Every structure is written in C-alpha cells, then in structure tokens.
Amino acid sequence: MAIKLHDSLTRTSLELAPSHTDGVFRFYNCGPTVYAAAHIGNFRTFVVNDLLRRLLELEFPGKVKHVRNLTDVDDKTIRRSREENRPLADVTRQWTEKFHADCAALNCLPPHEEPRAADPKYIREQVNMIEVLMEKGNAYRAADGSVYFKVSSFPGYGALSRVKERELQVGSALKTHAADADEKEDVSDFALWKAHKPEDGDVKWAGPHGASEGRPGWHIECSAMSKAILGDTIDLHTGGVDLLFPHHENEIAQSQCCNGTTFARHWYHSEHLLVDGKKMSKSLGNLYTLDDLKAKGFSPMALRYALLMGHPRKQLNFSLDSMHAAESALQRLSNLRQNFILAFKEFDEESAYTVFKKSYKEWRYLGDAWSSLCDDMNIPAAMGGLFSFLEPLKSRKPTFEERAEFERLVEDALGYSWTREASYKADIPADITALAEKRWAVKQAKDFAAADALRKELTALGWSMLDRKDGYSLEPVKK
C-alpha cells in the first residue's frame, strides 16, 4: 500500500515515491541546534520523523536515504561557548553526544548522514551556494561585508507559508532581524552570510567573494548540505511547524534560485506539543527533557508512546497522566508479546517461527492498522486497529502470521523496543520492585494500614510509589 502524506505546500494528500532513476527515496529533516538538551517538544518532531523513516524503510527496503543536519554554529551556540569560556567545538560536541544518547534511548534510527554546519567541507558548500546567488543577482553584499538574500528577486516567495508581503513588513518572525535593518535593502531580506563581530570570538571563516570573514546564516546550511548529499531536488523535506516560516520558506527561495529547479517535491510539518494545555516555557516550569521524565521514574519507551499518541498534524497535549497511560498501554502490549513467545516455545515452534518471519510480508490481520499509518500517519486509528486485533488473542494461541504482523507493526513500524524497556526497568532494584508488588497486593486486598506502612518503607529507601486505577509507578524521591 502506498504511503500518502499531507503536503504543506499544496495542502493536499500526495503519494510518497522516489523521483530519481536510481529508485532511492531522498528524505531530509531539520535537526537540532546543539547548545543544550533537546526538550520533549523537539522530540515529538524527531519521533514522528522516525516513524516516517520506518514506514519508508518498509515501503522501499534498502532504497531510502535519510539526511538530518546538526546546527553547530549560530547565535545560540556561540553565546553558550562565550558564557562557558569553552571552544565552540567542545560545547557542540557535548550536546551532540547528548542528543544522540536521547535519540538512542527513544529508539530513533540514526540518519544515513548527519552533516554539521561548521564542518569545513560544508562551510565551503555554503560559500559556493552564496556566490552563485550573488552572481545571479539574488543576493547582495551589505556595507558591513555580510550577504543577504533579496526576497524580491524570487516571485514565488511565500507560497509555502502563505505569507503576504505586508505581513512580512510587520510580522513577528522578522523581529529577530531588526538589528540588521540598517544593513539590508529591505526588511524582508535574510542573512546568507554574517560578517564577523567581536562577540563571535574566533568563530569565523573566509567569506564569499567580496564579503567579509564571518559565518553562514542559519537558513543556508540546510540548502547547501541537502544539495551536496542528496542533489538539487529531494523527495521529502520535513520538520516542525515552527520551521515552516521563515526557515523552510527561505530554503525554498535560495535553493530554487541557485539550482533553477524544484527544491523539494513534498513538504511535511508536524504540530506543536503542549504541556498541560499550555505552550512549554521555563518560566511556567513545564519544559521537560528526557532526563526530567526519567528522574520521575518514566521510561524512554513510555515517552515515545506518549509522543506518538496524537495525529502528528494536530497539537498534542502532554501531561504526566499521559505518561501513566502510556505505561499502561505498553504493559498490555508487552504482556501479549510474552503470550506470543510462550505460545511458540512448545515443540521447538519458536525456531520455526523465526524462519517463517523472514519470508512473511503480508498484512492479513493488521492491514487496517497498517493502512491507517500509510494514510497521513493516522496513529490513533492504527492503535485502535492494533488493540482490537489483540483482544481475542488473550484467550487463544496466536498463529505465526498474527505474531509476525504484530511484531512488524509494533517494533518495525512504531519503533517500540522491548529490550530497551527491559534494560531501563532493570535500573529499579529487585528488592524495591518486590516491595512495591507486595504493597500493591495488600492494597488490592483493602488492607490499607499495611499498604501505608509499606509505602513509608519504600519512601525511607528512596522511592515514591504512585497509585493509579490500573497499576502503579515508581519514582526516585527527589532530594
């Protein structure tokens, strides 16, 4: 079944298909700015992209090329380097490693290539692209030696975001450029190359012909690195809706003016994550990282589940209750998976199943769930189909086909790793788990005095036990 995805440019649903003669599907998504730990709002986008990558791998086995960039030179990374009095490369290396560790914990597949904006190879690619734009009259050198893209030179500007010229003049998205207003010919123009300033320290490279030493602007890196690795035209470009304007709008303008052809055949944007119904912010105290949630006793796989519970193109409201619901749902799936395994242990059937699974590629039982994933990644509908399929299997032995489809959907497509979940839960000491199980049992027996005594015992040992209708969770007591 073909994968269809909403296209942000045409506002229609389009089929995903490779456009190059080699049959390789070229897929680019914007990566993080590596100056701090990514928060769960960032990871909603990355987990959704991972789901999409997995669907593409199942649809075009061995024929997917996925590129994700790292922004390791910009105002934020330089400011962090200056504040900590450390070389820029040291700062960005630290946060790149943290990002990779969090991605691995969430079981996100690594991209096939992950170029860095500050890599000398890609600095050269960015400079080359800027020089072509200058030669074509799409860019100009300002008095301070910076280079700006002339938005008026690209008639198609605004098609992706539907931004009108009058909105460009006063739009909040351009307020960040106010400091450069004296250097630009027009307030809507954007920086391709930034002339070196004292606060940049030793972060500088030779600029395009006629420009000053400095560093690339933010937008040019994605266009240059995508072109260098995937070619002038890619099949799909994705990112969060916050990047739609101005970042992706600017990518289209500079890429198509430079290359003279369509930049991306398909655009996809996932929506914002809210926390307790509000936008995340440090001031509200609702900005969570993966480590914050792990400290509360939640597993990375539970976070992955929670981040995938809404339709990617709709805002998703995150709460700690949604993490508890995710834990309960994952436990149901895990229990049924164990039933599958136990069912095939008799008479060496497990070995026969392993051989069978390698050749089985059909969707006889979970076809509706797979179809939902292929239809604009309708995850809620897919999960409904999955749990409906599993219900009758509680009382009978599954077939090889049913187990194969379950594992392909849950593990290969949705990306849940039982190994990672088990490894994380192993961090809770066995004696603490045993004590929690004992307390849960006496509470179910309505011996509340004994349950209270066992709760106090757990607290004294450094663990908090949180009760729910369908179970409990353990969290380390914050000191």
Q: 465 or 159: which carries more pLDDT confidence?
A: 159
Instruction: Determine the pLDDT at residue 387.
Output: 93
Domain of 349? 274-423
Which tens digit of pLDDT belongs to each residue from 356-410? 999 999 999 999 999 999 999 999 999 999 999 988 887 788 899 999 999 999 9
Examine the domain organization and report whether 237 and 364 are in the same domain.
no
**Res. 47: pLDDT tops 80:** yes
Residues 133 and 210 in one domain: yes
Residues 70-98 have pLDDT tens digits of 999 999 999 999 999 999 999 999 999 99
* C-alpha–C-alpha distance, residues 439 and 7, integer Å: 52
Q: What is the pLDDT of residues 94-150, one digit of tens each?
A: 999 999 999 999 999 999 999 999 999 999 999 999 999 999 999 999 999 999 999
Return the pLDDT at 441: 74
> What CATH number corresponds to the domain at position 215?
3.40.50.620
Q: Do residue 172 and residue 226 come from a single domain?
A: yes
| Residues 57 and 80 placed together within one structural domain of the fold | yes
Average pLDDT, rounded, for the chain = 91
Of 224, 255, 270, the position where a domain reaches its end is 270
- Domain shared by 388 and 434, yes or no: no
Residue 9's nearest CA partner among 172, 237, 171, 227 is: 237
Quick one: pLDDT band at residue 442, thresholds 50, 70, 90? confident
Last residue of some domain: 404, 423, 442? Answer: 423
How high is the pLDDT of residue 164? 62
**Do 232 and 354 lie in a common domain?**
no
Q: What is the mean pLDDT of residues 173-194?
A: 72
CA atoms within 13 A on the CB side of 306: 26
Q: State yes or no: pLDDT of 466 exceeds 60.
A: yes
Q: Can you tell me which residue has the tokens 């004294």?
A: 460
Q: Would you list the DSSP string of 97-162?
A: HHHHHHHHHTTPPPPSB--BTTSHHHHHHHHHHHHHHHHTTSEEE-TTS-EEE-GGG-TTTTTTTT
Report the number of distinct structural domains present in the chain. 3
Domain identity same for 181 and 294: no
Mark whether 223 and 293 lie in a shared domain.
no
Of the two residues 55 and 169, the one the predictor is more confident about is 55
Beta strands in 23-91 (DSSP E): 25-29, 64-68
Q: Are residues 162 and 66 in the same domain?
A: yes
Q: Which of 282, 226, 220, 250 is nearest to 74 (CA)?
A: 220
pLDDT at residue 11 is higher than 60: yes
Same domain, yes or no: 248 and 292 = no
Are 453 and 393 members of one domain?
no
H or E element in which residue 5 lies: strand 4-7
pLDDT at 170 over 60: no
Q: In terms of DSSP bridges, do strands 214-216 and 471-476 run parallel, antiparallel, or are they unpaired?
A: unpaired
Paired residues of 67 in beta bridges: 28, 113
Distance CA 479, CA 462 (A): 9
Residue matched to tokens 């400011």 = 79
pLDDT above 60 for 167: no
Whole-number Cα distances in Å, 444 to 59, 329, 441, 456, 466: 47, 21, 5, 17, 14
Mark which of 239, 270, 301 sits at the end of a domain: 270
Question: pLDDT tens for residues 306-333?
Answer: 999 999 999 999 999 999 999 999 988 9
Confidence of residue 173 (pLDDT cuts 50, 70, 90): very low
Both 146 and 166 in one domain: the answer is yes
Better-predicted residue by pLDDT, 292 or 346 = 292
